[in-house]
Amino acid sequence: MPPSRTSTLPSALFDMLRECAFMPMTRLSTLCRAKPHHRFNRLRLHLSSRNSSTSSRRITIPAPFPITPSCPEPTCPCAPTPTMPEGLEIDHERELNGTMAPYSQQVLILTGQRDWRSRIEEDGVDEGWGMLVRRLKGLLGRGGKYSDPYNNIMITNTSFPPHHTIAPTPTTASALLFPSFRYIPTIPLDETSLDAFVRAFLLPTSLHPAHDALPAAQREHMRRVPAFQSSLFPNIAQIEDSPTILICGHGHRDQRCGILGPLLQAEFRRVLQGKGFRVSGGEEDGDGGFADDVGRANVGLISHIGGHKYAGNVIIYLPPSLSSPGNRQGGAMSLAGKGIWYGRVEPRHVEGIVEETVLGGRVISEHFRGGIGVDGEIMRL
Kindly state the average pLDDT of the residues 260-280. Answer: 97
Q: How far apart are CA 155 and CA 124, in angstroms?
A: 14
DSSP 234-248: TT-EE--S--EEEEE
Asked whether residue 87 carries a pLDDT value surpassing 50, the answer given is yes
Residue type (1 letter), 314: V
Residue 150 three-state SS: coil
CA distance 3 to 218: 38
> pLDDT tens across 34-84, in order?
444 444 444 444 444 444 444 445 566 788 899 999 999 999 889 999 999
Task: Assess contact for 294 and 241: CB atoms under 8 A.
Answer: yes
Q: How confident is the model at residue 281 (pLDDT cuts 50, 70, 90)?
A: confident
Q: What is the pLDDT of residue 7?
A: 44
HSE at residue 177, side-chain half, CA atoms within 13 A, is 22
pLDDT in tens, 109-167: 999 999 999 999 999 999 999 999 999 999 999 999 999 999 999 999 999 999 876 55
Widest pairwise Cα distance in the chain: 80
Q: Which residues of 227-248 are buried (b: 16+ CB within 10 A; e: fewer)?
A: ebbeebbeebeebebbbbbbbb
Q: What is the pLDDT of residue 48?
A: 43
What is the model's pLDDT at position 302? 98
The predicted structure's pLDDT at residue 170: 83
Where are the CATH 3.40.30.10 domain residues in the chain? 68-99+240-379
Helices in the chain by DSSP H: which ranges? 11-21, 25-33, 38-50, 128-140, 191-197, 216-221, 227-232, 255-274, 350-353
Count CA atoms closer than 13 A to 280's CA, side-chain side: 20
pLDDT at 368 over 60: yes
> Each residue of 154-175: b (16+ CB within 10 Å) or e?
bbbbbbbbbbeeeeeebebbbb
| pLDDT above 70 coverage of the chain, percent | 79
CATH 3.40.30.10 fits 68-99+240-379, yes or no: yes
pTM score of the predicted model: 0.83
- Specify the DSSP element, H or E, that contains 174: strand 172-178
